[in-house]
Amino acid sequence: MGLVSLDVELGDRGYPILIGDGLIGQPEQWLPHFSDGVVVVVTNDTIAPLYLDTVRSALGGRLRCEIILADGEQHKTLDTVARIYDSLISHRCDRKTTLLALGGGVVGDMTGFAAATYQRGVHFVQMPTTLLAQVDSSVGGKTGVNHPQGKNMIGAFYQPRCVIADIGTLGTLPDREYAAGIAEVIKYGLIADAPFDRWLTENMPRLMTREPTAMVEAVRRSCANKAAVVAEDEREGGRRAILNLGHTFGHAIETATAYTQYLHGEAVAIGMLMAADLSSRLGWISVAEVTRIRALLQSAGLPVTAPTGFSTAQFMDLMSADKKVLHGQLRLVLLREVGEAIVTAATPTATLEALLDDWLMST
C-alpha cells in the first residue's frame, strides 16, 4: 500500500499529512519534514513499549531525550505539561528543538501546547497512534490541557510541521478505543460530506474488521474534510466550529464524569446523537435520519444513551462552560441536513431543556 499525502493549506504555516501502513518504520518518508536540530519524543507508558524503539532507531543521533507520561485523559493537566518543561530545560533544549508527539490525542494536545509555549515556540510533529488522533486532534493546531471545570479550557492554536498517520498502529488499539475514533470519522460525513456518510454506512463492516484499504480511505477522507475547514477558518472564528458537532454535549458528559467513565469519542457519539435529535425537534432533519444515525453509531460499537446521575439543570450548567459560549449565549452545532452543519445560538431554551429531560430521564 503506497503513501497517501495531502496538505493543510495555511500559507507558510501549511504542512503535509502523510497516511500509510508502516510509516513509523519508514523515516525516509517523514524525516525530511523535520527542521534542523535535536528531537525530543513525548509519549506515554502505553505507547512507549510498542513504538518507541522504532522511533528511537529512526532518529538516531538526533534524539536528545524521551519523555514518557502516564496514559489517560485525567493526566491532561498543567502539572503534566510542567513535567515536559522540566525535561526540556534539564536537557538544555533550545529553540531549534523539535518535539515529536508519539501517541493519542492527549499526548498530541499536551506536546503541542508545550511546543507552543516553551521558549515562546519550538517546532513539533504529530505521530498519532489512535484513530481518533489521526482523523481529528492531530490535524488543525488545537493544543491544550483540561481544567477541572472544563475540557480544553487552557491552550493555544499552534500548527505542527507534519502529521504522520501510520494506520499500522491501529492494529494494536483495543476495540473500545478504535470505536471511539470511528465516532469522529462519522462526524465528518454528518457535518460536511454526505457522500462520505453514505460510504460509511456501506463500509462500516470493513472498517470494524480494520481492513487496511478501508482504514486508509476513512483517515484520508476525514483528514481532507478537516484540512479544508481549518484552511478556511484556522482559529475557529466561524466555520471551524462545525467540527464540534456533538462536542458541547460530549464535553459536558466528560466533565460530569471526571473524564473516567467515557472515552472522548464515546462522549462525542452520544453528543452527536443528542445534536441530531435536537436538529429533528427544530424541524431540520427527519426522525428517520436520527434513527439511521443511531444505527450507524451502534454499528460501530458506540454508546447512544446519556449517563445517569445528573439533572437537566446540572447539564445546562456544564454546557455553559463550553468554549463556544459568546456573550453568555450558548452556541450549538446542529444539522440543517446530513452533510450540512451550522452553528446557532437561536435554540429555544425550552426545546433544549425538553431534549435534556428526555435524554436524562430515559437512562
The string of DSSP letters for 169-235 reads: GGGGS-HHHHHHHHHHHHHHHHHH-HHHHHHHHHHHHHHHTT-HHHHHHHHHHHHHHHHHHHHH-TT
Catalytic-labelled residue, pool 234, 236, 254, 266: 236
Give the H or E element holding residue 126: strand 123-128
Which amino acid, one-letter code, is at 235?
A: R
Q: Is 30 within 8 Å of 54 (Cβ atoms)? A: no
- Eight-class DSSP state of 35: P
* CA pseudo-torsion sign 233, 145, 80, 74: negative
Catalytic-labelled residue, pool 123, 187, 264, 331: 264
Residue 96: active-site member? no
Residue 76: active-site member? no
Task: Write out the chain's pLDDT in tens, 363 residues.
Answer: 589 999 999 999 999 999 999 999 999 999 999 988 999 999 999 999 999 999 999 999 999 999 999 998 899 999 999 999 999 999 999 999 999 999 999 999 999 999 999 999 999 999 999 999 999 999 999 999 999 888 888 999 999 999 999 999 999 999 999 999 999 999 999 999 999 999 999 999 999 999 999 999 999 999 999 999 999 999 988 899 999 999 999 999 998 888 889 999 999 999 999 999 999 999 999 999 999 999 999 999 999 999 988 899 999 999 987 666 665 689 999 999 999 999 999 999 999 999 999 999 864
Residue 147: active-site member? no
CA distance linking residue 334 with residue 307, whole number of Å: 21
For the chain, list the domains and their CATH numbers. Answer: 4-172 (3.40.50.1970), 199-361 (1.20.1090.10)
Residue 240: active-site member? yes
CA distance linking residue 13 with residue 7, whole number of Å: 11
- Residues sharing a CB contact under 8 Å with residue 163, sequence separation 6 or more, in sequence order: 15, 16, 17, 18, 125, 126, 127, 128, 134, 138, 139, 223
* CA pseudo-torsion sign 99, 134, 17, 140: negative
Residue 184: active-site member? yes
Residue 151: active-site member? no
Residue 324: active-site member? no
Q: Whole-model pTM?
A: 0.91
What are the grid coordinates assigned to 242, written together? 462545525
